[in-house]
Amino acid sequence: MKRLALLLAAVVVFMPACDDDDPVNPSTVLPLRFTADLKASNEVNPSVTNGDAAATGSMTVTVTVTHDASNNITAVNSLEFAVNNIAGLAAPATLTGAHIHAAPAGQTAGVFINTGLSNGEITLASGSGSFNKTVTSGVTVEQVQALVANPAGHYFNVHTSINPTGAIRGQLVRVQ
């Protein structure tokens, strides 16, 4: 009888852990996280050779999605971009955009996912600083699936008024 009581207690304790196997009630997975080490020297076509040539920074994007019981992404909830430790931009540095592009190292491509940073929204008076942007609409499940399938085939860059095609760039790496 004691064994049966222990078995029933274990079933009751561990049953909630199985709750997200219900395809009718999908649950949110841990966020997906990607980073990029941003450098002016990573920019191509054209290369950065002016006052931004020594610029660096880092970027982390946290992607929150919803998935079904088979762990397939069913919805994109948000993308939170944290662009930190920007340094070495020609001061004052007016940021004109920040985006994810779908291209491997050494190649360029059009905007794949936009952070929503508008031209002139942020000026870094000393050429150094950080910023955050959150995107809650306009990103598709297919775009996130492409990031998951091939992070290195995508890059993030920050554009400035003196480098409108990009001042600092880094290929994405999935960290979570």
Domain CATH code at residue 28: 2.60.40
pLDDT digits (tens, 9 = 90+) for 87-134: 999 999 999 999 999 999 999 999 999 999 999 899 999 999 999 999
Token pair recorded at residue 25: 């009630």
77 lies in some domain: yes
Task: Please tell me the number of Cα atoms within 13 Å of 74 on its side-chain side.
Answer: 13
> Whole-model pTM?
0.83
Q: Write down the pLDDT at residue 8.
A: 44
Q: How far, in Å, CA of 147 to CA of 135, rounded?
A: 16
5 lies in some domain: no
Overall number of domains in the chain: 1
pLDDT at residue 26 tops 80: no
93 lies in some domain: yes
Q: How far, in Å, CA of 82 to CA of 62, rounded?
A: 8
Domain that holds residue 55: 24-174
16 lies in some domain: no
Residue 10 or residue 63, greater confidence: 63
Amino acid making up residue 86: I
Q: Write down the pLDDT at residue 25.
A: 54
36 lies in some domain: yes
